[in-house]
Structure 1
Amino acid sequence: METNRNDKRTKARNRVAQLKGFYIHALVYVLVNLFIVVASIIGQMNAGESFNEALFNFGTFATPVFWGIGLAFHAAKTFGYSPFFSKDWEERQIKKYMEDDRREAEKFSKSK
């Protein structure tokens, strides 16, 4: 009984650590990319570009876009989103392979 309680506590701590890690990652993403975008726009405007030219330059938002992709994968892992390999998919595959093994065993036993 005590072991079960400790297992649940450990799982809960791990889950909280995952959430905390994601939230810290998201906060750092926002703060760092806000700084990068503002610095990029100011730098480009000092180089002679207009505000609109600096704002709509791909280089201004390249870091947030690519880092955002990484953050999206981190979120998917943290919150258990898997559009390709869901729990239902895993269960179907397990049942399929168990059924295949059962059929194979039946074939083998009938051939004896």
Structure 2
Amino acid sequence: MESNFDEQKRLERAKKRVKKIKGFYSHLLVYVVINIMIVIININNLEPGESYFQWKNFITLFFWGLGLAVHGLSVFLPNMILGKNWEERKIKEIMERDKKRWD
């Protein structure tokens, strides 16, 4: 039977995970809205006959997109690579190592 302490730990871990995912989706939404506004502004500021496809129009999109990708990887990739229970296993490993050191 699972103790209240274990259940509370799982709940806290789940809340922390949901907060990280929500933060990523908020970041993604802001990225899309701001970059759409930048595209509209850039299109309105074009000279007649000037092409939109210039490097200066894609700087923010590209570098912020890199930051967004890193944010997404930090939120979603650890579970894909390390597994769902990695944190718990690592904590137990460290606690066992410390216990052996102090015994």
1:19 paired to 2:16: no
Structural mapping, 1:1-112, within 5 Å? 1-43=3-45, 45=46, 48-50=47-49, 53=51, 55-80=52-77, 86-87=81-82
Once the 2 structures are TM-superposed, how far is the Cα of residue 87 of structure 1 from its aligned partner?
3.5
Aligned-residue Cα RMSD (Å) equals 1.9
**Which amino acid in the other structure matches residue 80 of structure 1?**
L
Cα displacement string for residues 46-90 of structure 1 (whole angstroms, at most 9, x for unaligned residues): xx2425x1x1111111101100000000000000259xxx539xx
Q: TM-score, normalized by length of structure 2? A: 0.71
Give the 3 Å change call, closer, same or farther, for CA 81–2 of structure 1 in structure 2.
Answer: closer
| Partners of 2:28 and 2:71 in 1: CA distance | 9
Give the 3 Å change call, closer, same or farther, for CA 49–60 of structure 1 in structure 2.
Answer: farther
**Which amino acid in the other structure matches residue 49 of structure 2?**
S
Q: TM-score, normalized by length of structure 1? A: 0.65
Q: Which has the higher contact order (CA 8 A, sep 6+)?
A: 2
**Gapped regions of structure 2 (runs ≥ 5):** 84-103
**Which amino acid in the other structure matches residue 82 of structure 2?**
K
Other structure's SS at 1:56 match: coil
Off by >6 Å, runs of 4+ in structure 1: none
Contact 1:41 1:60 in 2 (8 A): no
Larger Rg belongs to: 1
**Gapped regions of structure 1 (runs ≥ 5):** 89-112
